[in-house]
Structure 1
Amino acid sequence: MTAAPQPAAPFGKAAFQLVLLRRMADFQPERVEEARRSLGASAADQREANRRWQAMVRSPRSRGALARYRSVLGPPESTGRRRVGDLECEVLLWALPLWPSLRFEVMAGPGGEVWNEWLVRAPGEPPYRPASTADLRPWSCTVDEVARAFAPVRPMEGGAPTRWRLAFAEPGTGRACVAEFTWGLLQRWEFPGG
């Protein structure tokens, strides 16, 4: 006689962090491995978390992205309103243990449709202010912090969902530089073409 399958543990913040880490592993596999171990999770746990997340995202019975985030992450730490052009959107922030000085931010439009979801600096935390490309260390800063430090920047399409790229001129030299982000967190930067 075979044992009945065990019900899956509820999908919460720990599993969601594994989903965020999965995309970051393409750039920072050692950091991701260390972070995964700090969560007490195996590579198999991470694959299972991603499988479950993708099933939720693609489910025909899905309640929508905003409801999914509320279900998985619980009540937001804070909510607010932000004007984007002529529209006002709702902004929700959640704390995640892996990144205590950051918050997972979700911006939703007037109808509740999620427009953006990424990691941002937590309110009250001092922003990271890179002065040069030498200060751009993986996981040190967010899209907004790099954009402010190296303005003007040019947003570029990322290589996959949840990825962003910013092009800017290196201070002092004017060399073209591109910084790459996953879920809003810096992963790497380079001088294209050497």
Structure 2
Amino acid sequence: MASNLQFRGYAIKDTSKWTEFELIDFKPKPFGDYDVDIEIVACGICGSDVHTITGGWGKPELPLVSGHEVAGVVRAVGSKVSEFKVGDRVGVGAQLDSCMECKCCKNNNENYCPKQIDTYNAKYPDGTVTQGGYSTAIRAPEKFVFAIPEGLDFEDAAPGFSFTPMRRFGVKKGTKMAVAGLGGLGHFGKSQPSNTSFLRKKAN
């Protein structure tokens, strides 16, 4: 059964006024058997949010609520959800759905699925536009929801949803790695100055 959460977020309505956010109410997709309603506590900020709301990656669906590093608390679960229950601490990354049938999906590369649905600025088959984490709540399929351990602050957990590259390539303590830019991983690196070196290259 769906929650009684109010879905409200800070949206942009014009890419030329991308710093002017307005509080809007929005309607999520219909609640399904595998869906999880999450009350959002924190959401990280990513460079892709800026690229999207400025129109740098093409004209977005407007009005648009961005944010894809989401952390919060489960408030409702669908009848077939098995991994989560009301009250669980969870997060959502940059993707809400995929076909789960193509070669990419079957090889755990759902982010390359031709039918993937992003956390915001995408459409479900019924036409519902996905809205992101700078909001009060998000509705997400169970497969794209992840548990957050007790003791980890939501504010620290939210940007952690950018850690997939480290996991994929087996990064562990002592591993040397390079991170381009100051996105989620870059900020984590910057927070550990004793173990991090920075390279700068001027445009000229």
Of Structure 1 and Structure 2, the greater helix share is in: 1
Greater RCO (Cα-Cα under 8 Å, separation 6 or more): 2
TM-score under structure 1 normalisation? 0.28
